Structure 1
Amino acid sequence: MKSIRHAVAVAVPALVAVAAAGAAAAAVFATARRVVTPTARSNDTEILAVDTGAQTIELTRTADTELPGRYGLFTTGTYGYVKLGAVLSADQRKVRRKLLTQIDVGAKVDRGAAFSGWYYSTPAELHLPYETVLIGSPAGPCPAWFFPAAPDAATSDSAASETWVIQVHGRGTTRAECLRAVPVFHSLGMPTLVVSYRNDGEAPRSRGGSYALGASEWRDVDAAIGHALRHGAKRVVLMGWSMGGAIVLQASVNSAHREAIAGLVLDSPVVDWRTVLRFQAREAGLVEPLPALAMEALSTPWSARLGGAEQAIPFDSLDMVARADELAVPILILHSDDDGFVPSDASHALAAARPDLVTMPEFAVARHTKLWNYDQISWTTAITDWISTIIGP
């Protein structure tokens, strides 16, 4: 009996230790999978009331929904997407905003909603000529929208019309995110190509269907550069939003068409993934060493697939502050110090490392990828002034 009790006394702590280790490993890989797995849009606010007479809407108050400016709201029911205007009133619990989309009496509008900086949801809303094209990339045919330069611009300013802008959207979004920037480039006489990339829900799915955080998606952007050069472009400006910033930074140092890249515009960009993922982990209440272990799992070949990645994520290669010396073209960074999702620390670090290349005007208050919405005039002026240094006034 004594030997049995001794065996149990030894075995139970060992089993507890094994169970704890298993739970920790499961938490690490679950965290890793959240990083690389494309996810559906999640609701981040609630619709509390809709006044169809005054055409106003009440939302739960968050750091995003209280922002001044024009925004969008993904909803379910009669409307899938509505546009929002100015904040009319607010208290500690809710905000009341002007509706810019007419909501009819009797319409069904569910409570769950997602606040968005997109504003424009389809290219037709811009009232500019455009066409849908397919770009042949290593992932397969990737759909894109092409907005040509205005005919008078094409004849009066060849430098502008021969410089195409290629826009790349961020993580968990689609091409529509980029539509806000099309009018400013169109006004400058520049054609714009708004592209998709593997696993974004519009372009082809890779075998594993996961994000590589820019480490493979840049190849689809490189294919878009080749498409532009075959169709009249002499040079390109790459614009990336959020993770799209990480993608175009990778394209700028890896592309077979590097000599044709005239500059980069980065809106709320991911410049270094480690900085971003540590910040997001803290915001989610995850404590070290869990975030560090998740990144280690994703960067190690044998464990990357257990973490949901198709191949190891090269975090060192994706750290463009560390690789700042490899950058060779002018860069405009538009990043709010109150981003709240992708901190601006790495953007400031890149600006400090390459002051000869990086222009970074000050922005605050605006949240992630919402600078256009919050301060369209300053955002537009920053791009217009910077472009004049690339192609001339």
Structure 2
Amino acid sequence: MTKNDTDPPVPAWVIATIALGSLAALTAAAGAVLTALVSRSVVVPPRQSTQDVDILGVDTAAGTVSLRATADTLLPGRYSLWFDRDGGHARVGEIVSVAEGVVTRALLSIDFGDIERARTGRISGWFFLHPREFGFGFRDVVIDTPLGGAPAWLIPAEDPESTRWVIQVHGRAVRRSETLRATRVFRESGYTSLLVSYRNDGDAPRSPDGRFRLGDTEWEDVERALAYAVEHGATSVVLMGWSMGGATVLQLATRSPLAGIVAGIVLDSPVIDWHETLRYRSAQMRIPTPVQEAALATLSHGWGGIATGLEASVDLDRLDFVARSGDLEKKTLLLHSDDDGYVSSVSSRALAEMRPDIVTFVPFSVARHTKLWNYDPERWTDSIRSWLSAL
């Protein structure tokens, strides 16, 4: 059928309605795509770490490296500098100078890679790479998890007769080397350290869906590490969790039949409530509130698996230890910085206020996410040592 001169003109309101309908459809489609991206970003292990630091120059004679000024490059302390898509690793120390947006820092070591050719990298609190750096004994062991053998490092206490253990649980999208910073203080305090891996972290076996469950299932792997500790003589165990590892050990402490042997919990920059954490990160990324809420719903309902690839939904309510503060029974040391940048300290403070009977809160104001040891190792170490002594 073709239009001829006798056809009546299309009313303007019809054209406007069609245009608005098309715009609404496009907006809805864009919102659905953004929702899927937000929800997937939380549970899908990243293939590569974000290289968000510009490396502007290296002076090997002076032992310095110049970096573009960012919140992380301006932090005092000692840090890892990963470069070449994590194919290279160096360690940087205190700030030498800051001028016109350029931070010059001491270059402590170049462990591998060609940093002089590198143009981008990332700052990490994961400072040590392997337990052999400490000069005391360790063993490679394997934990028999529900998904298969997961590698771990076992570092004996100074006292061979000690039956106190600590199990270290790293955060999301990093590996067990993150937890090496705590090895010395626990060893000197009489603890054997077990530094574990868990499903989908790149060391331990992959789950069928290959997705993080934010602690809701990862705790089952750590429970097997707890059983390993008991089988090898542990009579008292401290759980220490970093970032998402904090959410994981909280699940273990409240869901495992083995939790009776847990004497206490140490949390560094922990996720206490994923609702608040995901809203905080989304707000930082300027994601609209409706999309934030849609992403939370996508993660916590079975139908969301179409977008996330999860075999089963994540029980975000079960992971909320502000709402579940009454379920926590273990003495807990909680260390968190108010300028964390990734996991807000709001929930940590709320938990500490609700459970002052068992939670000791040590706040930092300038340390960023899981970089408390790097920024102020003396205060961080003394806090743990004193808490262990009282425990």
Give the TM-score, by structure 2 length.
0.93
- The match for 1:29 is 36
Give the CA deviation at 1:78. 11
- The match for 1:154 is 160
Distance 1:291 1:52, change over 3 A: same
- The match for 1:389 is 390
Distance in 2, matches of 1:5 and 1:122, equals: 73
Give the CA deviation at 1:207. 1.0
Distance 1:257 1:58, change over 3 A: same
Q: SS of the residue aligned with 1:318?
A: coil
Match of 2:153 among 145, 151, 158: 145
- The match for 2:246 is 245
Contact 2:49–2:85 (8 Å) recurs in 1? no
Greater strand share, structure number: 2
- The match for 2:332 is 331
- The match for 1:351 is 352
Q: Match of 1:43, as an amino acid?
A: Q
Contact 1:144–1:194 (8 Å) recurs in 2? yes
Distance in 2, matches of 1:5 and 1:277, equals: 47
Aligned residue pairs total 383
Match of 1:18 among 19, 25, 35: 25
Asked if 1:311 corresponds to 2:312, the answer is yes
Q: CA RMSD in A?
A: 2.1
Q: SS of the residue aligned with 1:24?
A: helix
- The match for 1:373 is 374
- The match for 1:261 is 262
Equivalent runs, 1:84-103 vs 2, <5 Å: 84-102=92-110
Asked if 1:279 corresponds to 2:280, the answer is yes
Asked if 1:71 corresponds to 2:72, the answer is no
Q: Match of 2:25, as an amino acid?
A: V
Distance in 1, matches of 2:27 and 2:279, equals: 23
Contact 1:72–1:115 (8 Å) recurs in 2? yes
Q: SS of the residue aligned with 1:144?
A: strand
Distance in 2, matches of 1:140 and 1:83, equals: 34
Q: Deviations over 1:119-141 (max 9, x none)?
A: 10122112221111110111211
Identity among equivalent positions (%) equals 44
Give the CA deviation at 1:12. 5.4
Q: Match of 2:208, as an amino acid?
A: R
Distance in 2, matches of 1:115 and 1:53, equals: 22
Unmatched 5+ stretches in structure 1: 156-160
Give the TM-score, by structure 1 length.
0.93
- The match for 2:120 is 112
Q: Match of 1:25, as an amino acid?
A: A
Give the CA deviation at 1:19. 3.1
Q: Deviations over 1:246-271 (max 9, x none)?
A: 00011110112010111000000000
- The match for 2:88 is 80
Distance in 1, matches of 2:111 and 2:204, equals: 33
